[in-house]
Amino acid sequence: MKLLGRNKLQLLRGLDATTDVWLVNWISEVVNASWKHPGDVIKQFPTVTAANVDVFLFRVASQPHSIQLSIMFPLNIAVVTDLKNMS
């Protein structure tokens, strides 16, 4: 997947070591993913929340934040559209 909107993730960097490791791993998994439909995302990330057919919320490690990711499956593009405070 091509991952756009990474600049929005800067707010999470440096919060703590666990979050930094989680973020690096999450980015790597998204970039190396080849999701074709929503079920592929849910299979790889069982704890993800599907906001609708192409928008997903990924809870960030032990933080009260979730990454909102919009996926254009036919184009193989994922866009970080928002960081949600879930507390």
Span 40-60, pLDDT tens digits: 999 999 999 999 999 999 999
Span 18-40, pLDDT tens digits: 999 999 999 999 999 999 999 99
Tell me the residue type at 21.
Answer: V
**10 C-beta neighbours (distance < 10 Å), count:** 10
Q: Per the structure block, which two tokens stand in for 15?
A: 């919060």
Q: How far is CA 32 from CA 44, 52, 56, 63, 75, in A?
A: 12, 22, 17, 24, 14
The residue whose two tokens read 């990454």 is 67
Domains in the chain, CATH or no CATH each: 2-85 (3.30.2310)
Tell me the residue type at 26.
Answer: W
Q: What is the pTM of this model?
A: 0.94
